[in-house]
Structure 1
Amino acid sequence: MATYLAFLRAINLGAKRVFPKDDIRRVVESVGFEEVVTHINTGNVRFESRMRSRERIERTLETAFAADRGFEVPTIVYGAKEFAALAAETRQLDEENPGLARHYVYLLKDELTTSQVADVEARASDKGRMVVRGRAAHALLEPGYQDGTVDPLGAASRLGAATNRNASVVLALAEKWCSAWMR
């Protein structure tokens, strides 16, 4: 059995897209995944599966979530080892960039093309910059970045299917769920 982490996008954002963590756990178990646990109520779930195809796992979960909720729930899945590596990169970027106001990690369903990476990373300004590594895009935001917009660098729309978590959540989940793969 392999360990996976799934990140659900656009849930619990209002009265119509409610998906409590106990229901998430129930649905993930209903499709045959085991050792299912969730972290807070923001769509973070860890489970074990015999399936080896990330894309198949994502489709299985998205189909089950839509059937249960009545709305689409885009889902981004990482293997535990892959997520541990992402967390190590997140920690390294934090260490290399002291004084950041915020560090958000966009978890991507698919890797970006070379030209997409160049476009996203070109969004740098005095508000911060984007760094793309594999299936993650890091928004490194400088003090004073707040201008009332959700996406101050204008990069989120260029990432394809993605969801974000702040760096502290990424590090906490890796420590909690991927400790066997952490350095």
Structure 2
Amino acid sequence: MPTYLAFLRAINLGAKRVFPKDDIRRAVEDAGFDGVQTHINTGNVRFESRMRSTSRIEAALESAFAADRGFEVPTMVYTAREIASIAEDARALDAEHPDLARHYVYFVKNAPSAELTAQIEATATDAGEMVVRGRAVHALLGPGYQDGKVDPLRAAKLIEPTTSRNVTVVYALADKWC
């Protein structure tokens, strides 16, 4: 059975959007998915499904999460093969940019068009650059990029809905689940 990874957006960021990983696991299982596992408490889920359409899986999970929590939880779903490829791209980008202060990966529902890709990549400044690789957008941030800001280049608004993870989490997930 195919393995998928889901990335939940904007959970556990305050008192109103609480969704503990054990509850996430239960909601995914209740939605009919198998082999459910979570990684840390930031909305990273691994599961198996006979469904082949990531957009159908996203819709099923978003519906289950809304019913369980009472608020919308935008969810981006990828195959394990896609995540392995994203991690491989990230490692290559890290090797090409050895002086990075931070590297975030933004997960998006649909690959940006060529026009949108150009807009995203045009947000580059002295602080860093955005690199689009299919359904993953890499924020490559140099020293002094405004520590603590996840979107210092203000590119995330161009790719909504999205959720980001530090590249170390991406590597951990690829090593653990792919």
Fold in common (TM above 0.5): yes
Where does residue 165 of structure 1 map in the other structure?
165
What is the aligned partner in structure 2 of residue 181 from structure 1?
A: none
SS of the residue aligned with 1:151?
coil
Within a 5 Å distance, the mapping from 1:112-131 to structure 2 comes to 112-131=112-131
Amino acid at match of 1:142: G
Residue equivalent to 2:75: 75
Letter in 2 for 1:39: H
What's the secondary structure of 1:37's corresponding residue?
strand
Identity %: 69
Q: Render the CA deviation track for 1:54-113: whole Å, top value 9, x for unaligned.
A: 110000000000000000000000000111001100111011100100000001111101
Query: 1:102 corresponds to which letter in structure 2?
Result: R
| 2:138 paired residue number | 138
Supply the AA of the counterpart residue of 1:26.
R
Count of aligned pairs: 178
For the aligned residue pairs, the C-alpha RMSD in angstroms reads: 1.0
The one-letter code sitting in structure 1 at the alignment partner of 2:45 is V
Aligned 8 A contact 1:110 1:161 in 2: no
Unaligned runs of 5+ in 1: 179-183
- Give 1:152 deviation, angstroms: 1.3
**Corresponding letter in the other structure for 2:145:** Y
Give the structure 2 partner of residue 57 of structure 1.
57
Show the counterpart of 1:101: 101
Aligned to 1:19: 19
Runs of 4+ with >6 A deviation: none
Secondary structure (helix, strand or coil) at the match of 1:107 reads strand
Unpaired stretches in structure 2, ≥5 consecutive residues: none
- Name 1:36's counterpart in structure 2: 36
Letter in 1 for 2:5: L
Structure 1 distance, partners of 2:69, 2:48, is 23
TM-score by length of 2: 0.98
